[in-house]
Amino acid sequence: MSTSHRRRGTRGFVAAFWSAVIPGFGQILVGRTRRGLVMIAVTGVLVVGGAAFALSNTTALLEAVVQPKILIGLFFGNILVLFLRIAASIDAYRLGAGLPGGTLRDETAGLLVVLSTFILVAPHAYLGYVDLVAHRTLTSVFGHSTTTTATTSGGDAGTGSTTQGTGSTSAASTTTSTTTTTLPLWAGNERLNILLMGGDAGPGRTGIRTDTMIVVSIDPETGDTAMLQVPRNFGNMPLPPELHINDCNCFSDISNAIYQYGQQHPELYPDAADPGAALIMASFQELLGIPIHYYALVDLNGFVDMVNALGGVTIYVPQRVYDANYPHEDGSTEVIDIPVGEYHMDGHLALAYARSRHSSDDYNRMGRQRCVLEAMLQEADPVTMALHIGQLANAVTTYVTTDIPIDQLPNLVRLMPKIDTSKIVSVRFIPPDYVAGYRPDRYSIPDIDKIQAAVNTAITLPPDEAMAALGIEPLTSTCGMPEPETTTTSSTTTTTATTTSVATSTTTTVSTTTTVSTTTTVSTTAP
């Protein structure tokens, strides 16, 4: 090959490289300015304009990517931009190498293949993958209808036993009446109330116990938010009168068994897609005195994956958490030891912190759970969620059950920037303030009047006034770091092993002692 041919080939390859990066720039380098400017203009409209919009309004970007129709448009737009870049790169090489239209030299064809693969195809392939994953998540997890009707069959929940709980609950086979109840749906102009539940389905467990139950109530205008947390061990939870439950119209097991009972007795809500969710939403409406518009149920592994997708959460631990037999998600047990200090926790450790109760009680655990939720809210900013949408989508698809309609997702996204985590009114309905008495089995009975009065205060007064009236502190005070001069941070960590005991220690800023047993499983569903 002559020297002039080599120079033209090199010149063509350089032009092709720059047009792969910015379609049209290579054409300008080889003197075809008008053609290059046209390509740059087209690129600017398709790419630069979209990127500028996304960077200037991340909330609007998230609103777009939670709409299936827009995701389909983005998918084909991504393919269009890819073809534009490939065409611009080939055209720039041809012009730079002085070749006639439609021809390429063999000695540089291989280089263009590599160029196209790594500079052109790879990023577009990744964007296409994320787009498809997001579309699959939206269409498989979220509802497609904004109207939900559940038929309630009358019966007695006093016969026939369940496989879970401390006592027996049941439903009679005799139906005395049938009523149709339209479940409340959010119109967008009143407070949005969503029941969040953490289920414990997994190895060694029968059914689903909802050990975490929190109603999040958001004012769509101001973003004022209340977190209303119900203990797992409330007895005699109220149920709708139309169900014709026993004389007290209450649930004879404890509150974390309501969801599973509804699953086992679909005749109570025969038209509901998830009868367990329909029953527990109805019970919470009776307890709190507010409509429950939607629910979301996450199992343990889903929580772990979502925290990991966010890159972990930063949590200050004000009191040591120690559990000698903490049940790992895989069914084995391990020792969890988290001394006082600030930690950036991965999903597994965050779940252990929120879930362990063997060294404390249910009410202490409720406090830790709300702190973990606050930490997740702080991490889940629009940019982080957009960058990790693939991982989050996979976790949601696999582990989340919800009745939130797709067409409500943009509205939910718009609420996110309005929520001020420092002003969340977090109420735990725990003894003695919200208990009317105790059953013979020592489970507490909720004081419905006091609970509904507290809910009314939490959602009607401004956050500062509500917290003062209820005698509670902001989450940032109860979950945040203390003043620097009083902060004590442990610097010992013991890593996890898969053998019976662990003996490996290193010194870092995170502390967790873990021992895994492959022969013992301890259930946390026992009261």
The more confident residue out of 91 and 301 is 91
Terminal Cα-to-Cα distance of the chain (whole angstroms): 83
Query: Cis ω on the peptide bond leading into residue 432 (within 30° of 0)?
Result: yes
Contact 465, 480 (CB under 8 A): no
Which amino acid, 489? T
Residue-wise pLDDT for 450-506, tens only, equals: 999 999 999 999 999 999 999 988 766 667 655 444 333 333 333 232 222 322 232
The more confident residue out of 229 and 204 is 229
| Token reading at 496 | 């996890």
d(CA 213, CA 476): 21
Residue-wise pLDDT for 145-160, tens only, equals: 544 444 333 333 333 3
- The pTM score is 0.69
What is the pLDDT at residue 328?
A: 73
Contact 62, 413 (CB under 8 A): yes
| Token reading at 284 | 């919470």
Contact 223, 420 (CB under 8 A): yes
The more confident residue out of 320 and 300 is 320
Q: Give the pLDDT band of residue 140 (cuts 50, 70, 90).
A: confident
Contact 194, 296 (CB under 8 A): yes
Residue-wise pLDDT for 446-460, tens only, equals: 999 999 999 999 999
| Token reading at 63 | 């609103």
Nearest of 415, 449, 421 to residue 434 by alpha carbon: 449
Nearest of 47, 62, 184, 52 to residue 120 by alpha carbon: 47
Tokens 């967790």, residue? Answer: 512
Q: What is the mean pLDDT of residues 406-423?
A: 86
| Token reading at 492 | 């010992």
The more confident residue out of 167 and 27 is 27
What is the pLDDT at residue 148?
A: 42
Q: Give the pLDDT band of residue 261 (cuts 50, 70, 90).
A: very high
d(CA 218, CA 425): 10
Say yes or no to pLDDT of 6 above 60. Answer: no
Q: What is the mean pLDDT of residues 83-108?
A: 70
Q: What is the dihedral of CA 136, 141, 144, 146, to 10 degrees?
A: -150
Q: Give the pLDDT band of residue 249 (cuts 50, 70, 90).
A: confident
| Token reading at 48 | 């630069």
d(CA 384, CA 430): 35
What is the pLDDT at residue 510?
A: 29
Please count the other Cβ atoms lying within 10 Å of the Cβ belonging to residue 184. Answer: 16
Contact 98, 6 (CB under 8 A): no
